[in-house]
Amino acid sequence: MVDAYLGGNVYKKRIAVQGRGKSGGVRTLIALRIKDKAFFMYGFAKKQRDNINDKELKALKTMASESLGYSDNVLADLVKQGKFIEVEDDE
C-alpha cells in the first residue's frame, strides 16, 4: 500500500487530508522492511514542496539502513530515552 519505492528500503506514501484529497494532501517517507519493521522518517505537505532532492534521499537511505538494523533491545532503549516513539497496532 505504498505509492513509490525510492530504493534503500525507503518508500513514499501519499496521504489524503480531509477535504483536499491525495493531490492536496501530505507525503510521508518511511523506512520499511516488510513484515519486520517500519519507521516514519519525514513528512511534508504537497503544497509546500514537490519532492525531496538527491542529497536528502541519500541521507534518508542511510537513516533507513541504520534504523532497520537496530535490534529489538536497542529500539526499546531508544523508545525509553524518548528518541523514538513506538506506534502500536491496536488490532
Give pLDDT tens digits for 48-65. Answer: 888 899 999 999 999 999
> Cα(80)–Cα(91) distance, rounded to whole angstroms?
23
pLDDT at residue 23 in the model: 63
> Cα(78)–Cα(1) distance, rounded to whole angstroms?
27
Q: For residue 9, is it within any domain?
A: yes
Q: Which domain holds residue 44?
A: 4-80
Q: For residue 64, is it within any domain?
A: yes
Q: Mean pLDDT for the chain?
A: 89
Report whether pLDDT(29) > 90: yes
Domains: count for the chain: 1
Q: For residue 22, is it within any domain?
A: yes
Report whether pLDDT(79) > 80: yes
Predicted TM-score (pTM) of this structure: 0.82
Q: For residue 75, is it within any domain?
A: yes
Residue with cell 529500539: 75
Q: For residue 74, is it within any domain?
A: yes
Question: Under the phi-then-psi rule, with left for phi > 0, alpha for psi from -120 to 50, and beta for the rest, what region is 19?
Answer: left
> Cα(85)–Cα(10) distance, rounded to whole angstroms?
19
